[in-house]
Structure 1
Amino acid sequence: MILVTGSTGNVGREVVQRLAGKNIPVRALSRNQPESRKNGTVEWVKGNFNDADSLSRAMLGVDKVVLISPAHPDMVEHQTAVIDAAKAAGVKHIVKLSGLGAGADAPIQLPRLHYEIELKILASGIAHTFVRPNLFMQVLLGSAGSISTDGAIYAPAGDGAISFTDVNDIADVIVCALTQPGHEESIYEITGPAALTYEQVAETIGKALNKPVNYIAVSPEDARDSMLSSGMDKWLVTAFLELFSIYRAGYGAAALSDTIKQVTGHTANNFSAFAESHKSFFNELNEA
């Protein structure tokens, strides 16, 4: 049995679907799901990172865990609770969704937190696989509204290039690590095949939609005000702005897509293909 935390998020949802498609028993943990619901080989269970008992129940009969949780000021505590429950239950392998550049000396907070969690997994003695992707291509779906209304993408990215990574490729790497031998004690840093500026991203989406789409660079200060006024959590706003500060400085441009092919056997998805495959999403908003 494989337990997937964060099972309704971008990556977790895709991992659950892929495991179910292989008829592999999977338990999907979510704080918003009913206490128990069975769907094919997928068992949905309700659980909370702050409820040790719910995590212990979720671990019954589990031998592998996919460790995913949202960026959050308590993410170290949340994921440590899962690690502790996994160790107590005798779990054999944890595949953790981490972040590109995770390390003690990372220039911003989020990859340092991921690294702190990685160290806790190492200390647990449980076999590990750390999957460290760059920024998801799917974050651009959050700009669908402004693309529809203004023909524009707004971001504090400057002219920094980013090797965006498709969530589908991330999920494929995780599933391979779970279902194929030889991925234990491994770290996979993965990206898309090319680094693109937001201007290039806007142009690519425009070509897919057959309409002009422009990139409007906004200042970090204006981005902060906009996110806070929308109700976004202050800690998350700070983490977001930190992330884009290193992208503006050129730290997001490394292209490490060969790892995806080495693990999965297929090439990494490129941004043009992503934009084409999401045309209907953008067009639905445009027609609404």
Structure 2
Amino acid sequence: MTILVIGATGRVGRHVVEQLVTRDAHVRVLTRDAAKASFPEGVEVVQGELLDIDALRRAFDGISTLFLLNAVTGDEFTQAIITLNIAREAGVERVVYLSVFGADTAVNVPHFAVKSGAERMLEAMGFGATILRPTYFIDNEVMVKDVIKEHGVYPMPIGRKGVAMVDARDIGEVAALELLRRERSPSKLPLETINLVGPDTLTGDDIAAIWSHVLERPIAYGGDDPSGFEQSMAAFMPAWMAYEMRLMAERYVSDGMIPEKGDVERLTMLLGRPLHRYHDAARALMAS
């Protein structure tokens, strides 16, 4: 049977596809522009988007298992609702859904609330699903590496509670393993939630210290200022999205993203290797 990957071209999705192909899975992807997309040999490509019902139905034809990753957009919840309804219509019961750490508590943050709603939908509609809840992506640091290098400041308002940032490679591999576990099971498996975290819970000051070590010069933490962060983000993204980033940063400052007991050990056992560390990713980012 075939696994459909939605969200296959982003930082996480491409790792999901690669990990599935490496494990000899039959993979289909849905992408907006097939001419611009590049996938491993053997991956089946359907062109379309999540609000294109005809394209969705084509993508789901003959599918047994779904990986769903919704981008943060103004109509994200509509996309999730429609996709899960079309999945049900196509007879798909096995799903791995990429949610977010703390989705059920940080409901004032729009894309957290969306993902919490999708989680409830998966449960209420009786899907056999793995809900993956990643923390902040280490890979997001590509957006701020020039600021760090040129201005000597780590600008993300991470706060002083701590965030266990996770590497997209770890997310992608866990997702692939869960997709294959559900795909290959003789019967539908029960719903399960997995927190995806990094091995180190780091504060803003901790991260600045790592960058100081990597660059061999002092790097300062920019401080706990979600309002200033919003103003910076508004320079290159829509105002509604910059405001959402502010709300998310306020959660970092007030609550952090701290693993639950056993999260790191569970992921290490599942992957059969150590989790990727922030320090190593920072070093690789500056070498790229």
Normalised by the size of structure 1, how large is the TM-score? 0.88
TM-superposed CA distance for 1:119, in Å, is 1.5
Give SS of 1:141's match. helix
Residues 66, 95 of structure 1: 8 Å contact kept: yes
TM-superposed CA distance for 1:278, in Å, is 2.7
Distance change >3 Å, CA 21–CA 125, structure 1 → 2: same
Give SS of 2:169's match. helix
Distance change >3 Å, CA 206–CA 188, structure 1 → 2: same
The match for 1:168 is 169
The match for 1:225 is 231
Q: Residues 85-126 of structure 1: CA distance to partner in whole angstroms, max 9, x if unpaired? A: 111111131100001112267453332221111121223322
TM-superposed CA distance for 1:145, in Å, is 1.5
Q: Does 1:239 align with 2:237?
A: no
Q: CA RMSD in A?
A: 2.3
Give distance in 2, aligned partners of 1:37 and 1:250: 39
Give SS of 1:257's match. helix
Q: Residues 138-178 of structure 1: CA distance to partner in whole angstroms, max 9, x if unpaired? A: 11111111123223221233434211111111111111101
TM-superposed CA distance for 1:199, in Å, is 2.2
Worse-matched range after superposition: 108-117 or 185-194: 108-117
Distance change >3 Å, CA 36–CA 193, structure 1 → 2: closer
The match for 1:24 is 25
The residue type equivalent to 1:156 in the other structure is: P
Q: Does 1:4 align with 2:9?
A: no
Q: Residues 200-233 of structure 1: CA distance to partner in whole angstroms, max 9, x if unpaired? A: 1122133234343332226333222222122x12
1:268-287 alignment runs, 5 A limit = 268-281=275-288
TM-superposed CA distance for 1:10, in Å, is 1.1
Worse-matched range after superposition: 76-85 or 28-37: 28-37
The residue type equivalent to 1:258 in the other structure is: E
Q: Which runs of 4+ in 1 moved over 6 A?
A: 35-38
Unaligned runs of 5+ in 1: 282-288
The match for 1:266 is 273
Worse-matched range after superposition: 142-151 or 130-139: 142-151
Distance change >3 Å, CA 212–CA 138, structure 1 → 2: same
Give distance in 1, aligned partners of 2:270 and 2:75: 31
Q: Does 1:64 align with 2:71?
A: no
The match for 1:201 is 207
1:67-146 alignment runs, 5 A limit = 67-103=68-104, 106=107, 108-146=109-147
Give distance in 2, aligned partners of 1:100 and 1:259: 16
Give distance in 1, aligned partners of 2:37 and 2:139: 29
Unaligned runs of 5+ in 2: none
The residue type equivalent to 1:33 in the other structure is: A
Distance change >3 Å, CA 73–CA 37, structure 1 → 2: closer
The residue type equivalent to 2:253 in the other structure is: R
Give distance in 2, aligned partners of 1:170 and 1:38: 18
Calculate percent identity across the aligned residue pairs. Answer: 25
Distance change >3 Å, CA 269–CA 39, structure 1 → 2: closer
Give distance in 2, aligned partners of 1:24 and 1:250: 39
Distance change >3 Å, CA 22–CA 13, structure 1 → 2: same
Worse-matched range after superposition: 76-85 or 263-272: 263-272
Residues 19, 26 of structure 1: 8 Å contact kept: yes
The residue type equivalent to 1:125 in the other structure is: G
Distance change >3 Å, CA 106–CA 151, structure 1 → 2: same
Distance change >3 Å, CA 184–CA 8, structure 1 → 2: farther
The match for 1:188 is 194
Give distance in 1, aligned partners of 2:163 and 2:203: 6
Residues 158, 256 of structure 2: 8 Å contact kept: no
Residues 154, 216 of structure 1: 8 Å contact kept: yes
Residues 257, 267 of structure 1: 8 Å contact kept: no
TM-superposed CA distance for 1:63, in Å, is 0.6
TM-superposed CA distance for 1:66, in Å, is 0.4
Residues 103, 112 of structure 2: 8 Å contact kept: yes
